[in-house]
Amino acid sequence: MIFQTTLIEGTIQKRYKRFLVDVKLKNGELITAHIANTGSMKSCWAPGWKTLLSYHDNPKRKLKYSVELIHNGKSWIGVNTSRTNQLAIDGIKNGIISELSGYKFIKPEVKIGDNSRLDILLYNNDEDRCFVEVKNVTLKVGDNIASFPDAVTTRGQKHLLELEKIVKNKDRACMLYIIQREDISCFTPAIEIDPEYVLLLQKAHLAGVEILVYQCSITPSEIKVAKKIISAI
């Protein structure tokens, strides 16, 4: 995924009200930017860290800037969760996520049941389908471990139950974690943050839900899925 315009550099001042970040631009201007991230963003930001913003000259937008990347001194961190599904789709299409190759069609945002959606449906026909739920991973624990979730996620728990139902109905299902930082080398679910989520993940895995973890490479101009990461489930 290549950014369509050059990102604008600034320095984080504070995050508040969940989706708002005050940023001082290089020219000294203080602006408020939107951040598309519902998590706690633990280990992803601190006052004084460098950030890169996209600018949107849309009269319907109240906030013209969106936070895309944050740098912790070692790695860029992709914090805009609205881009994660496209990263996953690009990784599937270009063959990097090889376990999910071989399907003719890709459908995003597929409805499951009455009140739920999963991120991606891969299929050749009605008898050859794979349902994929994608999660953005930014939490770092210890020296080199990525973890998910960074806050209790009842929505994530619901998705795991849906994936388990899918494999019991003889379709293929996959939980795909996309890590948007380069300063880690392995992955483990965050049992200390959301033990119920981890128990449901283990249960789904035993039922046949596949678990894949991939790490992105990140530059100020491009984010792309780069390699598979060792995981401990």
Are 22 and 107 members of one domain?
no
Last-in-domain residue among 24, 45, 78:
78
- The pLDDT value recorded for residue 232 is 87
Q: Does 1 reside within a domain?
A: no
Task: Give phi and psi for 162, each to the nearest 5.
Answer: -65, -45
192-206, pLDDT tens digit by residue?
999 999 999 999 999
Last-in-domain residue among 38, 59, 78:
78
Are 12 and 111 members of one domain?
no
pLDDT at 58 over 90: no
Which CATH number belongs to the domain containing residue 13 in this structure?
2.40.50.580
Are 72 and 90 members of one domain?
no
Q: Does 3 reside within a domain?
A: no
Are 91 and 61 members of one domain?
no
118-136, pLDDT tens digit by residue?
999 999 999 999 999 999 9
Are 100 and 209 members of one domain?
yes
Are 60 and 150 members of one domain?
no
Our CA dihedral for 29, 30, 36, 37, rounded to 10 degrees, sits at 130
pTM of the full predicted structure?
0.95
Which CATH number belongs to the domain containing residue 134 in this structure?
3.40.1350.60
Q: Does 2 reside within a domain?
A: no
CA distance 90 to 217: 13
Are 200 and 141 members of one domain?
yes
- The pLDDT value recorded for residue 200 is 98
Across residues 171-190, what is the average pLDDT? 97
Q: What is the 3-state secondary structure (H, E, C) of the chain?
A: CECCCCCEEEEEEEEECCCEEEEEECCCCEEEEECCCCCCCCCCCCCCCEEEEEECCCCCCCCCEEEEEEECCCCEEECCHHHHHHHHHHHHHCCCCHHHCCCCEEEEEEEECCCEEEEEEEEEECCEEEEEEEEEECEEECCCEEEECCCCCHHHHHHHHHHHHHHHCCCEEEEEEEECECCCCEEEECCCCCHHHHHHHHHHHHHCCEEEEEEEEECCCEEEEEEECEECC
Structural domain range at position 22: 8-78
Last-in-domain residue among 78, 104, 137:
78
pLDDT at 166 over 80: yes
94 pLDDT tier (thresholds 50, 70, 90): very high
